[in-house]
Structure 1
């Protein structure tokens, strides 16, 4: 008998079916990968298995979900609470939504062990530290008292993975668990999941858009599109002999192309010896006792129309660099933008320069106000910096920029939640572009997108760069995307520059072992 069997399941929201006739099964010790573009029904299927969707508005018009032979569609909420955590666990895609911002790491992990395994705090502490070590949290003991906002995006995701693994479940559902992780930590987490799967004979449903991970981890693969299964096969066969046109399209949607041709030589941005450190406070009065250095001695020059890639593991200082360039956090060193010394300017003096330096954040769910329409979201910055514009002029500018980034301008009265992940990222790009900037800091703009949408966004970024001579600081852990867009590359590790130079040269002949390790992991080579 299979550990999990889903037979002809349909899921409906307010009578509208979003998943139709999906069937899958997972045996103990087996990994099934569920792949497809955003909006295909992958996460809805996973949440249905865990019975985490609100009923109503969600209904199940047909089908059954059998876990160890028990139809959990007919289980009571009390019975489900006995299954969740104890026998089935889930790693959610967005850790900032799943982690309690008011509790530190130790308290959140101890809660899992206390509820599901009845452990006392003294015994639990050692297991918590061991699990954090295994998922790659450096100096785990010193991070126990940290709150979620004090961790990097990758570190938060690792805490979520630790939380799920501490329960030792029979079935683990992992919804994009490595999206926010750099390639070396991805490799580490995949190795850990394989080891735990062997130790506990655990079944795993792995939802992802990263086909390199699927190739390394899955035994079987189910491909979904528009709520339906379009293909199912053994992993090796699906990659070597895809049957459905959509599967072939997915496999062909790897980032490709070359950076745009440079036409200008005068520097736009010059950074000299940039340092960022945060105070370490201790004691009852929270006195500063030391400084935690998160970025040291970073220097580079960027020209109009040029892209600089910043890569490295989570916590290496990539996003910190972007915030320092935007003058959103304190730093030491020199930042010159168009011959103006940003490092000497006050907040008020920086205000006229803000429209010329924009940012696109990693997660559009967090950066787009859910209570504002797309028209209001995109126009907000323009209304602040160009108060003399009339409502009609603002609307005309929004329509023009939406069309430029490939969005239907007729949808501008809708809210962000009504758009797919790729469309929301286009909205974020439009919001930055409407101010006609010269420099855009792109912080992991494609990490949460499936491969086909990633390729569309890359094509869009290259086209916009060519048309407007935009300079990009592109922060990413996806080296294939970086190679397709960037002229220069800086590799960071623990706040220090490991390697720096022309992007193509670094890919062809990396000088350091760490860069070689990054490239090997990115290419999906088998793990030791």
Structure 2
């Protein structure tokens, strides 16, 4: 193997504050190095530094060197770096909605890559784009080229990002949590695709993840980071069989566990009957509606107080669409009864008093928290709408109480979201929902972007809050280990249709449908490899 990337004793500082210290990495052509550690450990900062994507100032590099094919990137000028980025080095970012341009279609964004880096004309580029989209698992790729990012599911957006990075056939691929938003079946497809392309192109890969099961499948060697420092480096098999550092042993031991709390209330809180959601398909210059694409079809269930219902399935199966429909944020047909009130018949004005009783926590707190508002303002925002009679002092007291309840330091309430780790930001999102004392919370992948140790903390928090407040949860997830640890009921969706539903333990122990068995088998393989 020939050496591709060498990082020697690198230090990264933000305005004189060192955030990464004395990190050394080596990646050979055809090799995968996994960079693991909890959120805030410096993994992404290290990756962005390799690509020289952090602005200077405020970022500086007090020591070290980054050698790519013998060239020290810390001494390279911007013109040289532009020639390397995209052509020889590519990066897949964690959050595709931040990375994809919301104003451009899928085809336009992918064509731009091929036009800029490979000089391809549109017709030849379209064939290459369709082939790549098909390889990353976009179904009916030809019909999706004119879609915009908001028209794709979270998993589909991530697959478009992966396709964008792979189109240029780079020598080094940096993948920052590229499978976070993907269900286990698609995750397996993407990992297989990355392995195939790595063999074909003899590509080196730096793979950043908090999912240690993926590391076992993909990596040749592993570097473990904590608080900006390397605590352990070893070949993959050796690190998993004989971890040397106490922190590495802690990471390997962190898996979602426990079972949902017993139910004490049999009264139904939410009843859904024959829910159907369709989106118009528009074509032509005038964007006329020519058909309807069914996203959810004939979904029915009952959710009791204090109960958790898990909604699982591959990306694009209609999970998040179901959550949005129940929140009345998108149009739907069918009946939605909440606390004996017909939500499907109420106007926006009539719904407003019920909004405080039904709250939502989204997958990515980076997108759902306003970066220009303090934590105090974010958490108290709902009070201003639903409890306008409260004084400023009373609002602040409620914010302090709910922050302490979710495990946040109330003294940090004057800080901004960017000053918190991923796990802390998700706690802020939970506090914002909880402060209005809801009866139902829609949780849309609330732990998927978190490392295992923080996942475990958030699950324990959700179970505790559920018992204390008799909260009902609609829990949307592709992580079946997390679902089993929290949920009483389970619904399996595929392409908008219910494949199977029933008691969670019964479906895990004896699934009746082949698709459910495939999902569970994928999850078991992932946890065992």
TM category, shorter: over 0.9
Residue 367 of structure 1 corresponds to which residue in structure 2?
A: 368
Q: What's the secondary structure of 1:299's corresponding residue? A: strand
Tell me the CA shift for residue 284 of structure 1.
3.4
- Distance in structure 1 (CA, Å) of the matches to 2:417 and 2:346: 35
Which residue does the alignment assign to 1:261? 262
- Equivalent residues in 2 for 1:447-462 (5 A)? 447-462=448-463
1:467 alignment partner in structure 2: 468
Distance (Å, rounded) in 1 between the aligned partners of 2:286 and 2:112:
29
Name the counterpart of 2:242: 241
Shift of 1:288: 2.0
1:204-248, Cα deviation, whole Å (9 max, x unpaired): 000000111111111111000000000111111111111111111
Looking at structure 2, the residues matched to 238 and 3 of structure 1 have their Cα atoms a distance apart, in angstroms, of 23
Question: Any idea what the Cα deviations from partners look like across 1:387-429, whole Å, max 9, x if unmatched?
Answer: 1111010000000000000000111111111111100100000
Structure 1: runs of 5+ lacking an equivalent: none
Indicate the residue corresponding to 1:186 in structure 2: 187
The answer as to whether partners of 1:216 and 1:526 remain within 8 angstroms in 2 is no
Q: Secondary structure at the match of 1:413?
A: coil
| Residues 34, 223 of structure 1: 8 Å contact kept | yes
Please say if residues 312 and 318 of structure 1, whose CA atoms lie closer than 8 Å, have aligned partners that are also in contact: yes
The residue that corresponds to 1:519 in the other structure is 520
Kindly tell me the number of residue pairs found equivalent between the two proteins: 528
* Residue of structure 2 in register with 1:436 after alignment: 437
Question: Superposition RMSD on alpha carbons, in Å?
Answer: 1.2
What's the counterpart of residue 110 of structure 2?
A: 109
- 3-state SS of the aligned residue for 1:231? strand
Give the corresponding residue for 1:126: 127
CA distance in 1, matches of 2:364, 2:323: 15
Q: Superposition pairs for residues 369-408 of structure 1, below 5 Å?
A: 369-408=370-409
Q: Work out the CA distance in 2 between the residues paired with 1:526 and 1:420.
A: 26
Cα distance in structure 2, aligned partners of 1:501 and 1:7:
54
CA distance in 2: counterparts of 1:339 and 1:126, whole angstroms: 53
**SS of the residue aligned with 1:243?**
coil
Distance in 2 between residues matched to 1:276 and 1:78, nearest whole Å: 49
Structure 2 partner of 1:76: 77
Query: What SS does the aligned partner of 1:430 have?
Result: helix
SS at match of 2:158: helix
Q: Distance in 1 between matches of 2:306 and 2:315?
A: 27
* Residue 486 of structure 1: how far off its partner (Å): 0.3
Q: Match of 1:417?
A: 418
Match for residue 177 of structure 1? 178
Quick check: 2:214–2:526 contact (8 Å CA) kept in 1?
A: no
Tell me the distance in 1 between the aligned counterparts of 2:107 and 2:284: 19
The match for 1:11 is: 12
1:225 equivalent in structure 2: 226
Name the counterpart of 1:97: 98
SS in structure 1 at match of 2:305:
coil
CA distance in 2, matches of 1:488, 1:356: 21
* 1:209 alignment partner in structure 2: 210
Q: Distance in 2 between matches of 1:122 and 1:265?
A: 60
- Given the alignment of the two structures, is residue 22 of structure 1 paired with residue 23 of structure 2, yes or no? yes
| Post-superposition CA distance 1:16-64 (Å, at most 9, x none) | 1100000110111110000000110000100111010111111111111
Answer yes or no: is the 8 Å Cα contact 1:213–1:524 preserved in 2.
no
Within a 5 Å distance, the mapping from 1:322-333 to structure 2 comes to 322-333=323-334
**How far apart, CA to CA, are the structure 1 residues paired with 2:221 and 2:5?**
14
**Displacement after TM superposition at 1:148 (Å):** 0.9
Mark the CA change 1:86 to 1:527 in structure 2 (over 3 Å): closer, same or farther. farther
Q: How far off is 1:253 after superposition?
A: 0.9
Q: Alpha carbons of 1:422 and 1:525: their partners in 2 closer, same or farther (altered >3 Å)?
A: closer
- The answer to whether the 8 Å contact 1:302/1:308 transfers is yes
Q: What is the CA–CA distance in structure 2 between the aligned matches of 1:28 and 1:508, rounded to whole Å?
A: 44
The 3-state SS of whatever aligns with 1:296 is strand
1:62 partnered with 2:63: yes
> Would you say the 8 A contact 1:31–1:219 is kept in 2?
yes
Instruction: Give the distance between the partners of 1:525 and 1:467, measured in 2 at CA.
Output: 34
Which residue is 1:138 aligned to? 139
- Cα distance in 2 for partners of 1:507, 1:69 equals 52
Once residues 259 and 472 of structure 2 are traced to their aligned partners in structure 1, the CA distance between those partners, rounded to angstroms, is 16
Label 1:194 to 1:110 Cα distance change in 2 as closer, same or farther (>3 A).
Answer: same
Q: Is the 8 A contact 2:314 2:494 kept in 1?
A: yes
Task: Say if 1:295 and 1:494, in contact at 8 Å, map to a contact too.
Answer: yes
Tell me which residue corresponds to 1:350: 351
Q: Look up the SS of the partner of 2:280 in the other structure.
A: strand
The Cα of 1:481 is off from its aligned counterpart by 0.5
Q: Partners of 2:108 and 2:283 in 1: how far apart?
A: 20
Residue 274 of structure 1 is matched in structure 2 by 275
Equivalents in 1 of 2:448, 2:337: separation in Å?
A: 29
Contact 2:219–2:236 (CA under 8 A) maintained in structure 1 = yes
For 1:41, the equivalent position in structure 2 comes to 42
Q: Is the 8 A contact 2:213 2:527 kept in 1?
A: no
Would you say 1:311 and 2:312 are equivalent positions?
yes
CA distance in 2, matches of 1:52, 1:391: 42
Do residues 498 (structure 1) and 499 (structure 2) align? yes
For the 8 Å contact 1:260–1:466, the answer to whether it is kept is yes
Residue 523 of structure 1: CA displacement?
A: 2.5
Q: Any conservation in 1 of the 2:137–2:159 contact (CA below 8 Å)?
A: yes
1:505 Cα offset (Å)? 1.1
Q: What displacement does 1:525 show?
A: 4.5
Contact 2:65 2:72 in 1 (8 A): yes
1:520 and 1:81 map into 2 onto residues whose CA distance is 44
Residues 274-303 of structure 1: per-residue CA shift (max 9 Å, x gap): 100111222333332211110000011111
